[in-house]
Chain A
Amino acid sequence: MKNKLSVMMFTWEFPPRVIGGISPHVFFLSKSLAKTGVKVHVVTCDFPGAPAHEVIDGVDVYRVDSYKNPAPDFATWVYLMNLNMQKEAAVIVNKLANKIDVFHAHDWLVATAGIGLKHVFRKPLLVTMHSTEIGRRDGLHTDTEKMIHETEAWLTYEAWKVICCSDYMVSHVRWAFGLPEDKLVMIPNGVNLSVYDGIENDLASFRAKYALPEEKIVLYVGRLVYEKGIHVLINAVSKVLEKINAKFIIVGSGYMKEQLLNIVRSMRLEHKVLFMGFVDDETLLRLQKCADVSVVPSLFEPFGIVALEAMAAKSPVVVSDTGGLSEIIDHDVTGFKAYPNNPESLAWGINKILLDENYKNYVRENAYRKVQEKYDWQKIAQQTKAIYKAVLGEFSKSFWA
């Protein structure tokens, strides 16, 4: 029993707290790791109504006080939250009689908790870099951005291994922080196919709430921020409509919303572009099922989970040829790759899929098969477990062991 591999993960979001992609990632990874026989403890921020401790499919989830006093700004709050996370995680490790083999941090948002605990307990630390500040902001322009970048650099320096979810991200992280090649590991993100089971009932009446029968549905899911390239899609709307009748459904929110609404208004296309804001999980899954095409026009994309989810929902995808998206999609095989930041190219791809039924069916069937073969959580958990074991093998020869 003692030999059961035990990991403690740190993440600032875990369901029901969902802000971005880290929450579902850690949720599925931890559950899949538990199935492979790894004991997983997840330490995360609290959430109204969610218990402070619960066991989900063999995963122990601890929700700690995420610091509720007013903080001067978001970044300072992050470090204050880490103070609490570190303190409470230390108590948990002691309660577990120190039986944790590895610490695993997800992004800079839990950097200081992970680094501190590594040193006080002398356990190896791994990090998954889901994104980088320099990538998100397309450079480092303010002191906050520089500070976050340097925190990320420090975290990757302290980590035994740095996991990235795409080859693109491996080279990006290596460049951003000057890391040695053998410190980086590529393990893809996964997608859960079973969530789409049984949601096909009444799909026609569900669809009718959003689009006319003669309108094709073009779906965008993501934050309305610059790096996601939503403005590129909005600028492609009129070009698509020149060829085919379609409804553009935009799911998500962000600081660019007003600006985007103004562009749509100025084009007098309010009746063709529907801004939905955040939607519940079931609505999202059904929209993905209904979509005639899903578009991921990102300018910076470490992985591109939204494309993978659309593929799992058997919705054909048009993506910009950048970052992780370039690796997920094989052009004209599992989807269409448009030139990044190019509305003409994006519109061309959307129209190609909407106008050519054979092409559409060909790419979406291929895409679904690829998801089954490569992005299965169980396979990803096995790869992650192998990394834990390799790190522990190296660690056992170190003077900390």
Chain B
Amino acid sequence: MVGQLADYISALATQLVKNKVETHVVTYHDSMTDAVEEASGVKVARVANPVRTHIGVLTWDLTLNQEVERAVANIYYGANKQIDLINVYDWHFIPAAVTLKNALNIPFVYSVESLENQRSPNSNTPYNMSIKSIEWLGFYEAEKVSAKSEWMRDEVVRIYSVPEEKIHIVSPSSDTWIKDVLGLYKTAAGGLKSK
């Protein structure tokens, strides 16, 4: 666990399974790799980075994405090509989501936890700009975007000029939280196929 995201995804995945959504979580772990099914019914695939030496977070992330693609492809072909939607959290796995969308026609929802602009205010070094360009790519390629608050939605609109109607607010503290998630998924999943 690095931040609060791990707990949130765990709770979300468990709720999704309870709502009869077959749910696979693809995530990183340095040693505990391979696919397992947890007691909750959530299937988790953990991948490590085959490249062990890195010169920064970006190179680590950009190489790890191929392993994410490999894990998702294994799930996809194992499930007879039946994956309706990918939900990607923050910029780290946007590259994999974009490739999988363009290769396998699986639409994705980009859930924004935070933005580079907020994490590193007023920083426009090549490092920050590279992360911002990945965020931009995510917003551009996503079928839908989910934000946890109106404020975050407005930030996405302000910084990246994303059309407001593309962004759904899904607040974890709302009583209708899981219903909102399922509604968003349903809207997004039809996306690419209907085009």
A: residues with CB less than 8 A from B are: 67, 69-73, 75-76, 79-80, 82-83, 86-87, 90-91, 93-94, 112, 115-117, 119-122, 143-144, 146-147, 150-151, 154, 157
Contact = CB atoms under 8 A, between A and B. Distances in A.
Contacts of B77: 122
Contacts of A67: 133
A112 B62 contact: yes
7 closest pairs, A vs B, by CB? A79-B62, A90-B103, A70-B126, A90-B102, A146-B53, A119-B70, A120-B103
B73 A122 contact: yes
A121 B81 CA distance: 12
B126 to A, nearest CB: 4
Interface stretch (B92-100, B114-122, B146-154, B173-181): B92-100
Most interface-central of B55, B66, B73, B133 (chain A CB within 10 A): B66
B78 to A, nearest CB: 11
Given A71-B130, A79-B58, A122-B77, A90 B52 contact: no
Contact of A72 (B56, B103, B104): B56
A121 B102 CA distance: 11
Contacts of A94: 102-103, 105
A44 B183 CA distance: 41
B101 to A, nearest CB: 8
B11 interface: no
Contact of A79 (B50, B63, B74, B125): B63
A143 B53 contact: yes
B62 A119 contact: no
Given A90-B103, A146-B53, A154-B51, A72 B126 contact: yes
Interface residues of B, number: 36
Given A122-B77, A154-B51, A76 B130 contact: yes
Given A69-B133, A93-B103, A117-B103, A76 B58 contact: yes
A73 B69 CA distance: 25
Given A76-B58, A94-B103, A147-B51, A120 B130 contact: no
Contacts of A75: 55, 59
B160 interface: no
Nearest to A142: B55
Given A69-B130, A72-B126, A120-B104, A143 B63 contact: no
24 contacts: A72-B126, A73-B55, A76-B56, A79-B63, A82-B62, A83-B62, A83-B65, A83-B95, A83-B134, A86-B99, A87-B102, A93-B103, A112-B62, A115-B70, A116-B65, A116-B70, A119-B73, A120-B73, A120-B100, A121-B103, A143-B55, A147-B55, A154-B51, A154-B63
A70 to B, nearest CB: 4
Contacts of B195: none
Contacts of A121: 103
Contacts of B127: 72
A154 B50 contact: yes
Contacts of A122: 73, 77
A147 B99 contact: no
A393 to B, nearest CB: 22
B122 to A, nearest CB: 16
B20 interface: no
A157 B102 CA distance: 25
Contact of B129 (A70, A120, A146): A70
B51 A150 contact: yes
Given A70-B126, A72-B126, A150-B53, 13 more contacts: A69-B130, A72-B125, A79-B58, A80-B58, A80-B133, A94-B102, A116-B70, A116-B96, A116-B99, A117-B99, A119-B66, A119-B74, A122-B77
Nearest to A399: B77
Contacts of B126: 69-72
A84 to B, nearest CB: 9
Most interface-central of B58, B70, B103, B129 (chain A CB within 10 A): B103
A16 to B, nearest CB: 26
B193 interface: no
Contacts of A112: 62-63, 65-66
Contacts of A70: 126, 129-130
